[in-house]
Amino acid sequence: MGYRNLMRDCGRSADEVAQEIVKAWTTLAPALGIDLHEISQEVTQGVSHLFCSDNEFYFVLRKECRATGPELVIVAAAGKNATKHVSEIHLKAKADGFKSVRLHTLKPDAMLRLGAKSLGYAKAETILRAEL
């Protein structure tokens, strides 16, 4: 698996790591929208984890417990070759004993067309939000 946790990136200078973290959040910002600050806080607190794959794809993961077993949540993802990287995350999750993977996306139809459907993903919920 070619991905690494950016918050635990060893073997590189602090400046290199900081630059990549900025690049990751900049890349993820459109996908996270107004939730950017909240999700970055989750990463800082260790609730969620920020990853990079092949220096081209950034994503945030979180583990949740369900009655059916542990679920891996792809909180946000952005970059190149999404289908390839989501497939790798899916396979790693299965190997690590997760019973399901939940993918958050603003564009579910596009993700399903681009290959997520072949991994067994299907629409599971619709969220409606009103800003007050």
DSSP at 33: G
Per-residue buried b or exposed e for 92-123, using 16+ beta carbons within 10 Å of the residue's own CB: ebeeeebebbebbbeebeebbeeebeebebee
Cα 86-70-117 angle, rounded to 5 deg: 30
Query: What is the pTM (predicted TM-score) of this model?
Result: 0.83
111 contacts 59 by C-beta, under 8 angstroms: no
pLDDT at 28: 94
Say which residue the tokens 């790591």 belong to: 17
Instruction: For 52-96, write each residue's pLDDT tens digit.
Output: 998 899 999 999 999 999 999 999 999 998 888 888 998 889 999
Helix, strand, or coil (residue 127): coil
Helix, strand, or coil (residue 46): coil
Instruction: For 87-99, write each residue's pLDDT tens digit.
Output: 899 888 999 999 9
Bridge-partner residues for 74, per DSSP?
61, 103
